[in-house]
Amino acid sequence: MSETQAEQGSASQLALSGELTIYHAAEVKQQVLAALRTGPVLELDLSGVTELDTAGLQVLMLAKQTAQAEQRELRLVQHSTPVVEVFQMLDLGAFFGDALLIHA
């Protein structure tokens, strides 16, 4: 799992790539929560995520709940096919409140 962070306008951006699984969840959790606290809006680019398991899903859910609790905004963008499959299988589109888009 690798991450790339950038800032565009008033939104910070963090791109995740590779496996978002139990093997990387603790590390990704720290990085996502730290990035979330750098500004009022964080866009989390999921286009490079190749695998998502329940531990990775818990990281995304925690980030969304933390953003709401701290009155920040977390936007999940550019969902990869594995992310969309998990979100659809578990009917989580409404929880995250983001449009599920797959970009080629």
- Give tens-digit pLDDT for 55-83: 999 999 999 999 999 999 999 999 999 99
Q: State pTM to two decimals.
A: 0.85
Structural domains in the chain?
A: 2-96 (3.30.750.24)
Beta bridge partners of 41: 11, 73
- Per the structure block, which two tokens stand in for 93? 């589109």
Write out pLDDT tens, residues 14-50: 999 999 999 999 999 999 999 999 999 999 999 999 9
